[in-house]
Amino acid sequence: MSKILITSIGTGIKKDGGYRSAEYEIEGKRYKEKIIAKALYNHVRFDKIFMLGTSKSMWDAVYEAFGGKDENMWCKLSGNQETGKIEERDLLPITALWMDDFNMAGSKTFIVNYGLDDSQLWGNFETYLKIAEYIEDGDEIYLDITHSFRSLSLMSYIMLDFVKSMRQKEFTVEAIFYGMFEYIYEPSNVGKITPVVNLKILFEINEWIKAISAFKNYGRAELIVENLDKRFGKGDEKTKYFSRFSENISIANLSAIKAYVDRVKDKLSLFDETGFPIMKLVSKDLIDFIKRMDKKYLSDFQLEVAAWFCENKNYAVSYIALTESVVSKICEMEGIGMESEKDRKEAKKRLHSEMKYASLSKKYKTLNQVRNSVAHQLSDRRGSIISDIKNLKKSIDNIEKEFKKLDKSGHS
């Protein structure tokens, strides 16, 4: 496990032959340095630094800030920086300094483009993919977005999120640092301090955006559970409720989902009591689900679950729930037990033998063909996957209409 700083360096402004120092304040401690990367190193003590910059970035200042003493090397970096001719091999003295004097073996420097067009931006994208190859499982990443072009800082943030979303490396984002130079000009800032703020909350918000999107669009709650675990811990009651929901939905056990709804419906106030803003947004969707599924009769619950799974594009489970809802409906109408296989077989027998269920029986047979094809992976059924998906919503509506007709005669 390594603490890694990913940072970019800008061109800087030289005055009287050198770069101006800044008084950085990080978590109450102050560091006077010409580049923020050195101030951050003083504060955190990284194991590696991955630094990006253009061929005209202030690499000479980096060399100087980290104790480079070779005047000829400094002059070479300064001259090449001014003409925009710095190449990655010219930066080897900097990585040598990091390794020999700061015990940061494995540190890297990268020359990137200005990002003036798509071609240059995609080139920078590939550079970030190279950086990702040097990140190992368990590493702690600290991102600095202070210097360089705003487009490069933005890409640094996006690419870090991209690599993490790809799930190729299991690393954590410990901080996103931003040196707020604009605050120097505030009249109240007498000491001209440059506060370094941690914008990690932006990364956390982005994680929540992905989690909420997965929940709203596909009914998947595992990302919400992960985020709740980070925020509140596994032992928190809210985390447990979402975790159970995620498990039940993932395995698509209808009886378990029904039991979950019955257990949680009287504890919905728990989700309104949190002071975490995003939690209230997330909880609303879970609360809406619980209220939507809180049905008196099993058949109505299974029908509603079928509709919900259809909306969330889990068509296979939707077909299974829909066919089961029909059998449950007959059990309810005929006063037959619903738990045993024997009772449900009896319900199917009556469904197909009694005239009052003729319309429902016909629809059930069509549905059951699809259901059996899904459950048993059959390949000899007529029809197609596209038509199955296309007809599902209509089938749900038709079964609901049949249920309403039967409800006029009342449940037993």
Q: Stretch 157-186: mean pLDDT, rounded?
A: 84
Tokens coding 159? 């690419």
Query: Which single residue is written with the structure tokens 């991955």?
Result: 50
pLDDT of residue 42: 95
Mean pLDDT check: name the lowest of 8-22, 86-100, 344-358.
8-22
Query: Which single residue is written with the structure tokens 């919905």?
Result: 268
Rounded Cα gap, residues 146 and 36, in angstroms: 8
Question: Is the pLDDT higher at 81 or at 193?
Answer: 193
Give the tens place of pLDDT for each residue, 359-394. Answer: 999 999 988 888 877 665 555 555 577 788 888 999
Counting every residue written for the chain, the total comes to: 412
How many CA atoms does the CB half-sphere of 347 hold within 13 Å? 25
pTM of the shown model: 0.71
Give the tens place of pLDDT for each residue, 270-310. Answer: 766 666 777 777 778 878 888 889 998 999 999 999 999 89
Give the tens place of pLDDT for each residue, 184-240. Answer: 888 888 788 899 999 988 888 888 888 888 887 777 788 888 888 888 887 888 788
Query: Measuring CA to CA, which residue among 57, 54, 7, 9 is closest to residue 177?
Result: 7
CA angle 26, 27, 28 (to 5 degrees): 90
Query: With 50 as the cut, is the pLDDT of residue 412 above it?
Result: no
* DSSP letter string, 10-27: ----EETTEEPPEEEEET
Tokens coding 212? 């909420």
Listed in order, the ranges of the chain carrying CATH 3.40.50.10640 are 3-198
Considering the domain 297-412 in this protein, what is its CATH number? 1.20.120
Tokens coding 1? 């496990």
Considering the domain 3-198 in this protein, what is its CATH number? 3.40.50.10640
Listed in order, the ranges of the chain carrying CATH 1.20.120 are 297-412
pLDDT of residue 17: 56
401 confidence band (pLDDT: 50, 70, 90): very high
